[in-house]
Amino acid sequence: MRHAIVLILVVACAAPAPRPPVRVRPTLRVAPSPSKSVAYELPVAHRGGACGETARCGDGLACLAMPGGYCASTCEGCDATCVETRGVTPPAAYCLAACTDDAACRVDEGYLCDPAFHACVLPNSTPIVPRDHCPVGGQDAFGVATPTGEMTIERVHDDPAVAAAQVGDCGACTDPGVVRRGANVVVAYTLAHGIRVRGSSDGGTNFRAAVTAVPGAYGDLAIGDRGSVHVVALDGSLHGAYGSAMHRIVYAGSRDGGRTFGPPVVVSGRDESIPFVLGNPMIALDERRGRLYVVYVRGDRSAVWDVVLATSKDRGVTWTRTTIGDGCALHALPAIAVDPTTGTVHVAYYVDQTFARTTCTPGATRCTRRGAIGPSAFTTARFGRDWLGQRASLEIDARARTIRATWVAPQDGIARVMTATAKLSP
């Protein structure tokens, strides 16, 4: 018997031989030393230097909210240049960096050396300085100027701010005014760069819905015997504070008591430079002769500002213009009144540190300067220490044959309201 021999190969899977144990060396942990907080000191900026996130102002200086910041101080004990400058809150005079040329200023940030004040400022941010060699007129035939407690303007009755707030959307309005003629009462105010008007035919008991008469920021209004309403405004902004050819004087009229207005008509001349500061236009009516008059200011940073008397004989459709000025002095904030008896146009304005008057024949065919009514040393800085406010006034009493002027005479930072009266010719 033959037997098969079967060779069985057994393969065993054996694990590899164990490696020798690895010795792990202990890690030496070094405890961190207590952190020492190092306070970062901002560099100190001197007067006129940039400030804010990159630097802090030195002792006695504050960082003004101007481009890049501006280190300055109040004018008390100022050892540099005290200047009233625009664009700073609160508006006031500050002690700024003195200079003799632009190289002393932060030219790369837009600051230049002002040639009048010799201070490093932004261009066109300082008040303009009237010339001091212009001819000065004589004294007008007004009586002695006396201070009064408040401004009295013929076009305003009661408190215009209260009156405007009571009759509609004047919650955020500015420069409110009220005129009255019999039972017709009209309230006007500035809102959203437009002159808003609301009229009443029952003495102010009920007012109609407000309408926008003209675009603009500052204005004046008048009301006729038959309820016609006339509005004039300066259409511009502070970007042209001391004169811009982009500004214009506009007029609009209403024949239905202020319910609707015709399209705005441009009163000022083409390319006239109209200042926003101290340039408020005023309007007056001569209904007996069918004329409208508007006074406004034209000029630029040369400080040569003239008063313009514009006249319309066709209910405001077209206008002619007469210049009141000498091509030298700075005339500001004109006021106007028309003598209903003679048709003489009376125009008053600030000039040569006085409040003065000029009279013009009906239609403004010829104008004559009468001289100073009273003193008024003022500044062109908007809301500065010797700011004049928004307007002055002339008021004619046709029966008594008198004219009364009311204006502001700043003194030691106090705006004194002055008044004086003169007799009119029969």
Residue at 361 is within a domain:
yes
> So what's the pLDDT on residue 290?
95
Same-domain check for residues 116 and 152: no
Helix (H) or strand (E) holding 164: helix 160-165
Torsion (CA) 55, 58, 62, 68 in degrees, nearest 10: -30
Buried b vs exposed e over 238-276: b needs ≥16 C-beta within 10 Å? eebbbbbeebbbbbbbbeebbbebeebbebbeeebbbbb
DSSP for 286-342, written as a single string: ETTTTEEEEEEEEE-TTS-EEEEEEEESSTTSS-EEEEES-SSSB-EEEEEEE-TTT
Q: In what order do the strands lie in the sheet with 218-223?
A: 218-223, 229-235, 248-254, 265-266
Same-domain check for residues 104 and 177: no
Give 153: exposed, middle or buried? Use CB within 10 Å, 0-12, 13-18, 19+: middle
Same-domain check for residues 113 and 197: no
Q: What is the rounded distance in angstroms from the CA atom of residue 106 to the CA atom of residue 70?
A: 10
Same-domain check for residues 51 and 175: no
DSSP for 109-151, written as a single string: GT-EE-TTT-BEE-TT-SPP---S-S----B-S----EEESS-
> So what's the pLDDT on residue 225?
85
Q: What is the rounded distance in angstroms from the CA atom of residue 87 to the CA atom of residue 35?
A: 45
Q: What is the domain extent for residue 270?
A: 146-423
> Is residue 176 a contact partner of residue 167, using CB atoms and an 8 Å limit?
no
Same-domain check for residues 198 and 307: yes
> So what's the pLDDT on residue 34?
52
> So what's the pLDDT on residue 262?
96
Q: What is the rounded distance in angstroms from the CA atom of residue 283 to the CA atom of residue 310?
A: 9
Task: Kindly tell me if the per-residue pLDDT of 422 is higher than 70.
Answer: yes
Residue at 371 is within a domain:
yes
Weakest-pLDDT range from 35-44, 131-140, 212-221, 312-321: 35-44
Q: Sorting pLDDT into bands at 50, 70 and 90, what band is 164?
A: low
Query: Measured on CA atoms in the order 142, 222, 208, 193, is the torsion positive or negative?
Result: negative
Residue at 165 is within a domain:
yes
Residue at 344 is within a domain:
yes
Residue 176 to residues 56, 204, 423: CA-CA distances in angstroms?
43, 15, 31
> So what's the pLDDT on residue 39?
58
> So what's the pLDDT on residue 18?
54
Task: Kindly tell me if the per-residue pLDDT of 15 is higher than 90.
Answer: no
Residue at 131 is within a domain:
no
Q: What is the mean pLDDT of residues 181-201?
A: 86
The count of structural domains within the chain is: 2
Residue pLDDT, tens place only, 47-106: 999 999 889 999 999 999 999 999 999 988 898 888 887 767 666 789 999 999 999 999
Of 105, 121, 137, which residue is a domain's last? 121
> Is residue 89 a contact partner of residue 65, using CB atoms and an 8 Å limit?
yes
The total of other beta-carbon atoms located within 10 Å of residue 188's CB is: 28
Same-domain check for residues 205 and 263: yes
Q: Sorting pLDDT into bands at 50, 70 and 90, what band is 27?
A: very low
Residue pLDDT, tens place only, 177-187: 788 888 888 88
Same-domain check for residues 77 and 215: no
State the number of CA atoms in the 13 A half-sphere of 203 facing the CB: 0
Same-domain check for residues 226 and 80: no
Helix (H) or strand (E) holding 160: helix 160-165
CATH number for 201: 2.120.10.10
Residue at 2 is within a domain:
no
> Is residue 197 a contact partner of residue 214, using CB atoms and an 8 Å limit?
no
Same-domain check for residues 117 and 158: no
Same-domain check for residues 335 and 408: yes
Same-domain check for residues 392 and 281: yes
Per cent of the chain over pLDDT 70 is: 79
Residue at 21 is within a domain:
no
Residue at 128 is within a domain:
no
The total of other beta-carbon atoms located within 10 Å of residue 207's CB is: 19
Task: Kindly tell me if the per-residue pLDDT of 400 is higher than 80.
Answer: yes
> So what's the pLDDT on residue 375?
84
Same-domain check for residues 156 and 64: no
